Amino acid sequence: MSTVLFSVENHVATITLNRPEALNALNYELRQELAEAWKRIKEDEDIRVGILTGAGRAFCAGVDVKETVRRLEGVQQQPAGGEGPGSSLYALDIYKPLIAAINGPAAGGGLGLALCCDILIAAEGTVFSAPFVARGAFEQNTISLLMKKAPPGWAMYIALSATRFDAETALRIALINEIVPKDDLMGRAYEIAERIVANSYIAVLAVKEKMRLVMDGTLRDALAAEGPRARNFREANESKEGFGAFSEKRQAQFG
């Protein structure tokens, strides 16, 4: 079964993360297929808008914990090229408008995937989280996007406390655009996409380009920068304990 479903209708491409039994967690296979989907949206001139959503009850639970634990324990080899393609950075290079139709929980890298989109709508009852510090992890793409898109105080609170927050909070801090009933989510996403498609395509591209240039002025520099504490984190290797504890449903014991 494909881990990513892809369809195109009336110039609108829909990417559906398709590992519902794993809450659409990002394993290496899904990352590879997602990278191909991003590439198709970027290169296919018939596609003018992209929609990203998830199958089942979750949008994306972030990194696949079981796969990560196996890798950290040395049971599974790290794929060539690192964690694999398909991260939020790929979507940031797409010059066409992207809509996140967040159908359920968006955690960790799943939150990052949502934040890489231009317009975010969430189903009622959706919860979000950036649980990296609770796992002994450090995921710079999502953290950088969070700091760029949320008010600084809220971004710090979300990232440092690893606390889950609901869609109403996300709307209040302008992290998402709308909350809609779950049954109406995809209809609303297509409605927004169709309004964009109806406009001048050349103008839409120029407007997105200009707005992203203004917004992303320092994002790339932030992603590339690494201070001494980040280097210390990489050397400490606390992720093995954090992900192992989460997998075993126990409290992590960090040094």
Residue 78 has pLDDT above 60, yes or no: no
Question: Token pair 């799943």 is at which residue?
Answer: 110
Residue 193 has pLDDT above 70, yes or no: yes
Residue 86 has pLDDT above 80, yes or no: no
Cα 13 to Cα 251: distance, rounded to the nearest angstrom: 42
pLDDT recorded at residue 216: 72
Strand order in the sheet with 12-17: 4-9, 12-17, 49-54, 98-102, 119-123, 178-180
- Count of beta carbons in the 10 Å neighbourhood of residue 68: 25
Residues 6+ apart with CB under 8 A from 205: 95, 96
228 token code pair: 């001494």
pLDDT recorded at residue 243: 78
Task: Work out the average pLDDT over 76-94.
Answer: 61
Task: Work out the average pLDDT over 186-205.
Answer: 95
109 to 33, 168, 174, 184, 190: CA distances (angstroms): 16, 20, 19, 25, 24
First to last CA, the chain: 41
**Helix count and strand count (H, E) for the chain:** 12, 9
Q: Look at 8-22, 120-134, 160-174, 201-215 and tell me which has the smallest mean pLDDT.
A: 201-215
Going by the DSSP 8-state scheme, the letter that residue 78 receives in this structure is: P
Q: Which residues pair with 54 in a beta bridge?
A: 17
pLDDT band at 81 (very low <50, low <70, confident <90, very high): very low
| CA 206 centroid distance within chain | 24
Output 22 or 84, whichever has higher pLDDT: 22
Where is 31: in which H helix or E strand?
A: helix 28-43
Task: Work out the average pLDDT over 174-197.
Answer: 98
Query: CATH second-level architecture of 4-182?
Result: Alpha-Beta Complex (3.90)
Residue 82 has pLDDT above 50, yes or no: no
Closest to 223 in 3D by CA, of 139, 136, 141: 141
Cα 218 to Cα 76: distance, rounded to the nearest angstrom: 36
Instruction: Give 43's Cβ-side CA count (13 Å radius).
Output: 7
Task: Work out the average pLDDT over 208-222.
Answer: 74
Cα 254 to Cα 135: distance, rounded to the nearest angstrom: 9
pLDDT band at 152 (very low <50, low <70, confident <90, very high): very high
- The secondary structure of 82-143 as a DSSP string is TT-S--HHHHHT--S-EEEEE-S-EETHHHHHHHTSSEEEEETT-EEE--TGGGT---HHHH
- Do 94 and 50 touch, CB atoms closer than 8 A? yes
Q: What is the mean pLDDT of the chain?
A: 88
pLDDT in tens, 29-73: 999 999 999 999 999 999 999 999 999 999 999 998 888 777 766
What is the percentage of the chain residues whose pLDDT exceeds 70?
84
7 to 29, 31, 41: CA distances (angstroms): 19, 18, 10
What is the percentage of the chain residues whose pLDDT exceeds 90?
65
Q: Look at 45-59, 81-95, 146-160 and tell me which has the smallest mean pLDDT.
A: 81-95
pLDDT band at 135 (very low <50, low <70, confident <90, very high): confident
Residue 221 has pLDDT above 80, yes or no: no
Instruction: Give 49's Cβ-side CA count (13 Å radius).
Output: 24
pLDDT band at 223 (very low <50, low <70, confident <90, very high): low
